Structure 1
Amino acid sequence: MIARWTSLVLGLVIGTTALAQQERPNVLFIAIDDLKPVLGCYGNKTAITPSIDEIARQGTVFLNAHCQWPVCGGSRASLMTSLRPEAVGVMDLKTNMRAKNPSVLTLSEHFKNQGYVSAGTGKIYDPRCVDNKKSLDAPSWSIPFVSPKYSSLEFNDVKQVTLAPDVSDSDLGDGQIADNGIRLMRKLSGSGKPFFLAVGFKKPHLPFIAPKKYWDLYERDRFQLAVHQVGIKNDSEYALHDSEELRGYEGVPSEGEIPSDLQRELIHGYYACTSFVDAQVGRLVSELRRLGEADNTVILLWGDHGFHLGDHGIWGKHTTLEQATRVPLIIRPHRGTAVPTTLAPAELNDMFPTLCDLVGIPVPSGINGRSLLAVINGSTESVRDGALTVFKKKGAIGYSYRTKRYRYTLWLNKNGNVVASELYDYQTDPLETRNLINDVNYEQVQRQLSDHLKADAQGCERLLSSTPSRR
């Protein structure tokens, strides 16, 4: 009798668990390489991005979200593990994430372990920082990862910094990534299990190649060049660089200023690529709706870091300044209300625990991110004082802390000593034209930011082991 009763109870538990898994929402996880917030939903009146804007209207737009490493390898390894760059061990474009940190648990792997079918296509990790380009971190996926077959245009003409071929979307890599995403979605929709589908687009990464029809959406003469194209007063000597990423392309000067005509061409190309990717996002969401899955799917869209388009004379990322660290982050819950916009500081690290809370699975211990669910549903204004970006330069590690108003950056050498520091006030100086670190009027602000930075430095080994001085 006891055995029969135990079997009955066990059967009910298993049945309830299976039902709970079936009722869990899906996740559509959309990554976009090098995308800064040049989107309509971020107030950009030039950008033509109707598909992303539609997702934003149904969810929360994080206006003050920042990456944890302003280059793709470290950024993606960090956000996929919810560990700051030093904690996950990836701070370049060559370190293998699991070789450095064998016990690491990734976001998609965690969902797989919780009963989801996890699948992916495109660029989710930087392939140089995981096992290989084909598997793209095999433990993260329930079924083999799907990579696109890029066209000859994207290989033979890579030395051209811009290109507008008169081709269809699927003739280029991001169109193929959308094709793959749609095929995977159809397969996963009929699996009987909730799915975690990651789709990573590669534009607007250099070179700026997009079908001609997306270039034709814009008039080049109407693009405005960056207002502040010179350096920073009281520069720390760690903030700026000479746009090395751009310099290797044909027609780009190897040194010195970028001519204004070329600047407009580059900006035009960036916006054309953004609209190209926006159209691919629209295709994914349309298929989700056609399959009847839209109302039971959380959509999360993010960029891995920003991109300087001429401000401070910089083209590219690789800085701890606003245009390199600030990213689009849009979260559309599958049900319930969501505040439309928020200025709460947010990190890409926060996506891991946020998605767990949104779908109702456990949040792993030991991660550095914080759930943004309370911000999304409006029950709290913010879950952190600032967002932290880390970067390495000239042997020092920079810790850049962005609050609602300020950015405070400490550069520490290998001995943990402060070799440079920066302070920007975006209320009085939104273009970062001057470093206020030695301004006596900001001494109290600096003390407060120093305390907040140190208190929120989980996973930052060098910073935690140091005793930063205050000026």
Structure 2
Amino acid sequence: MLIVDDLNDWVGAMGGHPNAKTPNIDKLADQGTLFTNAHAPAPLCGPSRASIMTGLAPSTTGIYGHIEDNNIRKANDKAAHSVFLSEYFKQHGYYTAAVGKVFHQSVADGSFDDFGGRVKLFGPYPEKNFKWDQPKTSTDWGPFPERDDQMPDFDSAHWIANKLKQQHDKPFFMACGFLRPHVPWHVPQKWFDMHPAKDLYLPPYMSEDLSDVPEIARIISDHPMMPTTQWALENGEYRNIVQAYLASVSFVDSCVGIVLDALENSEYANNTAVVLWGDHGYHLGEKDKFAKMTLWERATRTPLIIKPPKSSEKQVSNKPVSLLDLYPTLVKMCGLPENPDTEGKDLTPLLHNPNAPWQHAAVTTYGENNHAVKTERYRYIRYEDGSEELYDHQIDKEEWRNLAGDPAYAQVKQQLAQHLPRVNEKWSSQSQYRGNDYFTTKTEQAGGN
């Protein structure tokens, strides 16, 4: 299981950016099923990963913000009885190993047999920030350090690669959590050189994009610690930021390649499933922000590739799926008994036929009772105060025109609302938030920090 932090669709196989260079991820996509309409349970690392590893939605556990790995099962009664994905494999005879960022900090105690560690925060860092120096964020961009072997992701890739060279007397479940392209966008110069700033395509941007969204949408997506697109344009940094993100993606792609090459050259090449996912998407200027933490497409959509054992057939599915679906899918693929306590949908029917009938939607939750519902055509957002957004991706992929107030779409909204969670647990006192004041107040009310 290969996990890439803050990776949006700027991957060659997904066509999200014409300048993306990701040959290793693309090769994996050519050998398995690429889900082009996959979405995170939450647009923030902590709750998204907690949801994936427990198999429970944020609205079920009350984990809406960051949470200490060892406090996940303290969130509420439902979380207390959860079995982490890796634990479920352990219980069924698997050897488990992990390295890097798998849960939010690293891994929960006892969730893996072996853990190769994770570097603190997201370094290495230069002595002084290059471009951006604000509290509450690691955001900065520019070439640093000098060599790949000074990057934690390089070490993580080789740690897993070495595990694949060893003899294993029972089946294994391994997870490698990469840090890039999470900020700071610092990677060695050679990766920047692959993406000359002057030649880069800039994402579509409309300065009045947020004029037709509800007030609460502007409030909860406001992250003053991050640069805005207007700031980047006025200061001549937009192309430099895009370059740095693309460079970070190309670097982490090379680390993915280290692991995939090791698997291909191992005795396990033909009996090992591979799954790659990002924990959520990321805005690179769209909606006037360089950030995650919104319910719009850029923050919820992320790559998902599943390659079953012995598979080398390329498939593409546009069906709406959630990373919450990973737990039951991997369990089914490996022939283990179903865990009835998980809430995701088994994706194996789409692995057999990527265009199979699929009546489900992907739901992303950002704070208590704020949800986005994504189908093949529409994105419907309902906030805790009842306000709404609706976008028709058939005619508006950029989500520039909010149709929620158009009477012609009343029935569409009604149908999409059927996918909203029926349970919205209170914000768990174990779940904290590092972001804007709106959600900080929520966590304080819940007894968090």
Q: TM-score, normalised by structure 1?
A: 0.82
Counterpart-to-counterpart distance in 2, 1:158 and 1:174: 21
Q: Would you say 1:234 and 2:212 are equivalent positions?
A: yes
Amino acid aligned to 1:327: T
Alignment of 1:45-444 (within 5 A): 45-94=18-67, 96-100=71-75, 101-127=79-105, 133=106, 136-148=107-119, 153-154=124-125, 156-157=127-128, 160=131, 161-165=140-144, 167-187=146-166, 190-230=167-207, 231-240=209-218, 241-247=221-227, 258-259=233-234, 261-336=236-311, 340-378=315-353, 381-392=356-367, 397-413=369-385, 418=386, 420-444=387-411
- 8 Å contact kept, 1:83–1:459: no
C-alpha displacement of 1:147: 2.6
C-alpha displacement of 1:459: 5.3
Structure 2 partner of 1:12: none
- 8 Å contact kept, 2:203–2:284: yes
Counterpart-to-counterpart distance in 2, 1:449 and 1:120: 38
C-alpha displacement of 1:143: 2.3
C-alpha displacement of 1:277: 0.3
C-alpha displacement of 1:33: 0.4
- 8 Å contact kept, 1:295–1:335: yes
Q: Would you say 1:35 and 2:7 are equivalent positions?
A: yes
The structure with more radius of gyration:
1
Counterpart-to-counterpart distance in 2, 1:50 and 1:337: 16
- 8 Å contact kept, 2:116–2:156: no
Counterpart-to-counterpart distance in 1, 2:257 and 2:7: 16
Amino acid aligned to 1:140: S
Counterpart-to-counterpart distance in 1, 2:389 and 2:417: 11
User: Compared with structure 1, are the counterparts of its residues 81 and 264 closer, same or farther at alpha carbon in structure 2 (3 Å cutoff)?
Assistant: same
Counterpart-to-counterpart distance in 1, 2:378 and 2:226: 29
Counterpart-to-counterpart distance in 2, 1:235 and 1:398: 14
Partner deviation per Cα, 1:353-410 (whole Å, 9 max, x = no partner): 1111111111201211011000011176244431000012xxx631110000001111
Counterpart-to-counterpart distance in 1, 2:378 and 2:289: 21
Structure 1 partner of 2:446: none
User: Compared with structure 1, are the counterparts of its residues 276 and 137 closer, same or farther at alpha carbon in structure 2 (3 Å cutoff)?
Assistant: same
User: Compared with structure 1, are the counterparts of its residues 269 and 447 closer, same or farther at alpha carbon in structure 2 (3 Å cutoff)?
Assistant: same
User: Compared with structure 1, are the counterparts of its residues 31 and 428 closer, same or farther at alpha carbon in structure 2 (3 Å cutoff)?
Assistant: same
User: Compared with structure 1, are the counterparts of its residues 150 and 76 closer, same or farther at alpha carbon in structure 2 (3 Å cutoff)?
Assistant: closer
Amino acid aligned to 2:156: I
Counterpart-to-counterpart distance in 1, 2:269 and 2:201: 37
Amino acid aligned to 2:151: L
- 8 Å contact kept, 1:209–1:269: yes
Partner deviation per Cα, 1:177-223 (whole Å, 9 max, x = no partner): 11222223334xx1211111100000111110111111111111122
C-alpha displacement of 1:461: 4.3
Counterpart-to-counterpart distance in 2, 1:149 and 1:176: 14
- 8 Å contact kept, 2:161–2:259: yes
Amino acid aligned to 1:402: K
- 8 Å contact kept, 1:31–1:199: yes
Q: Aligned residue pairs: how many?
A: 409
SS of structure 1 residue aligned to 2:417: helix
C-alpha displacement of 1:145: 4.5
Partner deviation per Cα, 1:265-312 (whole Å, 9 max, x = no partner): 010000000000000000101111222222111010000010000011
- 8 Å contact kept, 2:30–2:313: no
Structure 2 partner of 1:13: none
Counterpart-to-counterpart distance in 2, 1:156 and 1:118: 37
Counterpart-to-counterpart distance in 2, 1:157 and 1:123: 25
Partner deviation per Cα, 1:72-107 (whole Å, 9 max, x = no partner): 000000011111012233211245212223322111
SS of structure 1 residue aligned to 2:264: helix
User: Compared with structure 1, are the counterparts of its residues 151 and 243 closer, same or farther at alpha carbon in structure 2 (3 Å cutoff)?
Assistant: closer
SS of structure 1 residue aligned to 2:366: strand
Partner deviation per Cα, 1:24-59 (whole Å, 9 max, x = no partner): xxxxx0000000011111124311100000000000
Partner deviation per Cα, 1:335-367 (whole Å, 9 max, x = no partner): 357561011100000011111111111120121
RMSD over aligned Cα atoms = 2.3
Of structures 1 and 2, the one scoring higher in RCO (CA 8 A, sep 6+) is 2
User: Compared with structure 1, are the counterparts of its residues 140 and 383 closer, same or farther at alpha carbon in structure 2 (3 Å cutoff)?
Assistant: farther
